[in-house]
Structure 1
Amino acid sequence: MGSSAKLLLPTLAVVIAILAVVIGPKYLSPEPPNSIISNQVIDGISFPSSVKIAGSAQKFIGGGTRFKWGFKVYALGIYGEDKTIKSMTKKYAGASMEGLMKSDTLFTDFSESKSAKTLLLRFHREVGSSDVADALGEALKPRLGEKESESFQTFILDVVGGERVQKGSDIFITCKGEKLWASTTGGSDNASSITMKGLCPAIFMVYLGENPVSPHAKEGFVKGFETMTNK
């Protein structure tokens, strides 16, 4: 190998290292595909077929993985009341996966429905509590504004408690009307609540709207909904 080539190799290594720091490894290493093994298993994490929160039984629809810098952070399961699912499956009967993905009304219909619906976050890894709260707050800013999103950040941070969210932990976020409940156990008795105009549809559109924080979760929701629609 020539002397110029020997000098070039360390230089390339330095450039790659700088790129990894500046733009993040997710651009150097693409996110792996979403893995839904069955209707209620997402990337190896099982989800209950139903939950009952805020006095309302809700069925598992679908979900996917939330990645950050190419790493799995949590798996997300999305739940809705049977009456909402039945109404929407009737409305979108016969629709294809492609058609549903392009249908903005599907996501707004679900997110803006007044009946109970739940986001269940199950963590693949340990992360900072403030990182979780900040990420959700930042995603809400375009939809709610800075003041309201910061209020929600504080609310979620209080719910999670402590400095770290441990691997295997859960966060349940349930909406009914304009009221939102959140807890780490899913029980209504010990759940904290907050009422804020526009918060409930906004938090669901973080995952189901344009430029979702987890495209995999949006796709998984549509896959599950398509299955229910075409039964």
Structure 2
Amino acid sequence: MNKGTNTLSILHCAIIRHGNYQQLAHTPSALQPFPLNSQGKQQALAGAKELASLLDKHECMLAPQVDSSNLLRAWQTATIFIDELQQYFTSTPTLSGYDALAERSVGSAANLSIEQINAILAADPRFPAPPENWKSDSHYCLPLQGAESLLQAGQRVKQHLTDWANASAATTTSKTVKLFFGHGAAFRHGAHHLGLLPFDKIAALSMYHARPIMFKVEDGQFSHIDGSWKIRQATDIPID
């Protein structure tokens, strides 16, 4: 495989959603601290093989600095990818965790069920009842300390990726792919802020567990080059 060369103004990156884990029932995924289950580990192994094929196809190597959400399921997924793809890194890889890549936070209601959260809001005279679909409403932010909307979560993901692009534009000299490991909803809303997904596509799409989506960044503009978004079916229950 050839490393290839590239102009200074063109960068490459990939976003990878964590593998499957045992999410609490009827509970926003948010900051749940649980590890990958056996299925999630297998998904990460398969995703690493898929990424290797994409790297060969595009004649790319991997940037050694790998970024991950600090949530365990994302960190474990990143670790499996790193272990499986050692030969593709341009130098010894390092894994760094960032709160900016986490899933949407529900603040002080973290890891409570939807029923419990609704009951808390109903018992507090300061707050109106939330919309029925508040968990998947991109604009809605729970009126609780530390909570954020899905769009706000996407904004911090977008900022993390654009900060990387801005810092790397003048220093990246080889055709390398920077890896970001995180969460489906935050990544999709981040993609919207980056101009990659129109707003009406956010709810229509999801991300496959541990399967990479690759982007090119040219003069600060992100564009999709490979990997697939998952199309939601009418019967799908959103869990991200």
TM-score by length of 1: 0.30
Which structure: larger Rg? 1
Kindly indicate which of the two structures has a greater share of residues assigned to strand.
1
Kindly indicate which of the two structures has a greater share of residues assigned to helix.
1
